[in-house]
Amino acid sequence: MSNPPILIIGAGISGLVLAQYLRRHNVEFKIFERDSAIDARSGGWGLTLHWSLPALRELLPEDIVERFPETFVNKEASARGDVGRFQFFNLKSGDALYNVPAAERIRVSRVRLRQLLTTGINVEWNKSFQNIESTADEITAHFEDGTNYTGRLLVACDGSRSRTREILYPEAQMNELPVQLLGASTLYSVEEMGGAESIDPFIFQGSHPDSNVFLFFSLLDTPNNFENSSKDRYHCQIIISWADSQGIPVPDSNADRIALMKKLTDNWSEPFHSLVHKLGQDVEVRSIRIEDWIFRLGRAHAHPRAVLMGDSAHTMTMFRGEGANNAIVDVLDLVKRVDIDKPGSFDTEALKSSLAAYENDVFTRAEPSYLNSRQACLDAHDFSKIEGSPLVAPRDLKKSG
């Protein structure tokens, strides 16, 4: 094979953005995803895109950029130019303490964004990545179904539980933070919202100064937002979390988890109290252990034609919403360092140099986001530390060198 394709492991945000860029430039690629379909693990998550938006527009075909509104959780708010205030509240008094400003910011449904990014892309579904073989000139990806594919570069976009990362850095371990989180999504009528929809068209957060229990509230969809949206209900994501030092175990049963959420928020002011206490018994509550990880520069591995991108390279806590933004700019950094239109860019020494420069760009930019996200997570559960915390500070792009 004189010009093997670029192999992309994982059809998350970074993998699909890279695939769209390669499609736009007529570069051969293959993209693989372990799930059976785009919505197999949709989960109910939103993404806040801010400083990565210029990069996203630069990377994607114009027709995809024009369709961004198809992904908005609140098209009406976005159409009027509302970027949200992203307020932080004292959940005891109900006072708004901080706003998180942004010149530009959109809130999107993760599953809708992925659906948009699959336009014109042939994703190989049900492909569980297993192992890698390398030569000086090529790299081969092996899958659990017995198939294998050979390319000139393998880009690992396979998420926080990256199999590629396990292969390249077998000693790598996720860092477990001392925080426990319970999350649920539900449909609420205007009456059940109790005015919460007027606080912010996208998200808000807060903490109780006595209990140090944290709230994150997000709108995932709004009435009549899309043809298949509820006509009279808001789709909401409700997350509460607390520090391990409180010694509060997470129950095994769903009913007991709902009961715990209500118990921990019983002293909250309105409308925050009711947002939790109106959760129905049929709502699924997920328990999530907060973890993070970032690669380190200068660590050699056995497969020099493999490189990490997005969550596989830098898994961040959700408390600043910077993971997806960094993942998108990772793509831009890669295609700026590796000239995909020139076959000579994939010669062994040229590629080695380009990937080293790419990793330096990513680490220089992503490490501050990673550290700020970790600190924001810790501060969110200690009310005395919120003032001046990265939790309530602006999100800005740190330029790579």
CA 191 from centre of chain: 31
pLDDT of residue 43: 56
pLDDT of residue 112: 94
29, 184 contact by CB (below 8 A)? no
Q: Which residue has the tokens 């909401």?
A: 236
Q: H/E element holding 225?
A: none
pLDDT of residue 93: 98
Q: Which residue has the tokens 């926080």?
A: 160
Nearest to 129 by CA among 144, 114, 117: 144
- Give the whole-angstrom CA distance, residue 257 versus residue 172: 32
Nearest to 361 by CA among 324, 316, 331: 331
Query: Degrees (nearest 5) of the Cα angle 202, 206, 209?
Result: 175
- Give the whole-angstrom CA distance, residue 221 versus residue 185: 11
Per-residue pLDDT of the chain (401 residues; tens, 9 = 90+): 468 999 999 999 999 999 999 999 999 999 999 998 888 765 568 999 999 999 999 999 999 999 999 999 999 999 999 999 999 999 999 999 999 988 899 999 999 999 999 999 999 999 999 999 999 999 999 999 999 999 999 999 999 999 999 999 999 999 999 999 999 999 999 999 999 999 999 999 999 999 999 999 999 999 999 999 999 999 999 999 999 999 999 999 999 999 999 999 999 999 999 999 999 999 999 999 999 999 999 888 999 999 999 999 999 999 999 999 999 999 999 999 999 989 899 999 999 999 999 999 999 999 999 999 999 999 999 999 999 999 999 987 755 44
- Give the whole-angstrom CA distance, residue 361 versus residue 340: 18
Can you tell me whether residue 234 is helix, strand or coil?
strand
- Give the whole-angstrom CA distance, residue 269 versus residue 91: 6
Q: Distance of CA 355 to CAs 141, 310, 330, Å? A: 19, 15, 12
- Give the whole-angstrom CA distance, residue 165 versus residue 173: 10
Query: Degrees (nearest 5) of the Cα angle 350, 356, 361?
Result: 125
pLDDT of residue 38: 85
- Give the whole-angstrom CA distance, residue 180 versus residue 105: 28
217, 234 contact by CB (below 8 A)? no
pLDDT of residue 300: 87
pTM of the model: 0.96
Per the structure block, which two tokens stand in for 217? 């509230």
Nearest to 32 by CA among 2, 12, 56: 12
Q: Where are the alpha helices (DSSP H) in 136-287?
A: 163-168, 190-193, 254-264, 272-277
Nearest to 46 by CA among 260, 271, 217, 227: 217
pLDDT of residue 101: 87
Give residue 20's identity as a one-letter amino acid code: Q
pLDDT of residue 40: 76
